[in-house]
Amino acid sequence: TNYVERIAVLSVDLRGWCQEGGNDVRELYQVYAQKNGVFCAELTKMGVNGMMESLEGKFGFFNNFLVGKGFPIDLSVMDVNEDTPFWCDVAAYKPYSSCRQTHPYIDCMRNIMAAHPEVKPENVEKINVQIGGLGKMLCTPDESRKSPVNGNDARFSIPWTVAVTLVHGKPTLGNFSPEGLKDQAVIDAAHLVEWESNEELCAQARNSSGIVTVYMKDGQSFTDRVDDAIGAKNNPMSDEEFMDKF
């Protein structure tokens, strides 16, 4: 396998490709943009100039990669006025170091465990998670999501993050480290997690909801639903949670 070619492809920022299981490069793809940003800033300080119309010009990005390929462009959407929405207002902060779409399921588990102290690994028969459109990618392939071989597979796994929450209370950086991936208690708990597709969640545009049901060995079951995980605009992190994160 040509790993040099695989890694080189990252320079065009193929984020979906980086989420493919079994590779280590998910942690690296942002580095290319950050490195190039610093590099360009340093060139500018040295007096190096560039195209005056690098986006909209005859030889700019839009004409070369969009308009020239048959994609129409309306530059008026780039105009800014007093009514222009700035989406940073709805940006979510991440209390856990895993894919944002795992967070509703982590919060569900934490809510269930807080309400029912008897929910402990040794008492759980199985865990059902109901997923939306993006959720299938975070649950399959089954083995790499339940026994991840690297931190990337673990951070993009609903079964792993739910299992970590059941065993340790919530995910931390250590749960995605090489040592953390050997935690047999978490591996065993992850294999208790089953998933099913939920039509309502699949219809959501934001993939922001999650539903978890914990089935106990004594026959009880507990269900929780989270529509805005901690850190969302409608469910902001507290000062204490920010301090705990950083």
How far apart are the C-alpha atoms of 64 and 75, rounded to whole Å?
A: 15
Q: What is the pLDDT of residues 116-171, one digit of tens each?
A: 999 999 999 999 999 998 899 999 999 999 999 999 899 999 999 999 999 999 99
- Percentage of the chain with pLDDT > 70? 89
Q: What is the pLDDT of residues 13-30, one digit of tens each?
A: 555 555 566 666 666 767
12 versus 179: the higher-pLDDT residue is 179
Asked if pLDDT for residue 4 goes beyond 80, the answer is no
pLDDT the model gives residue 124: 98
Contact 26, 19 (CB under 8 A): yes
23 versus 225: the higher-pLDDT residue is 225
| Region 191-206 average pLDDT | 90
Contact 151, 181 (CB under 8 A): yes
pLDDT the model gives residue 108: 98
Instruction: Tell whether omega for the bond before 141 is within 30 degrees of 0, i.e. cis.
Output: yes
Most confident range, picked from 6-10, 91-95, 160-164: 160-164
How many other C-beta atoms lie within 10 A of the C-beta of residue 107?
A: 25
- 201: nearest Cα among 210, 193, 192: 210
Contact 169, 117 (CB under 8 A): no
With a CB cutoff of 8 Å and minimum separation 6, the contacts of 193 are 126, 127, 128, 129, 139, 146, 158, 159, 162, 163
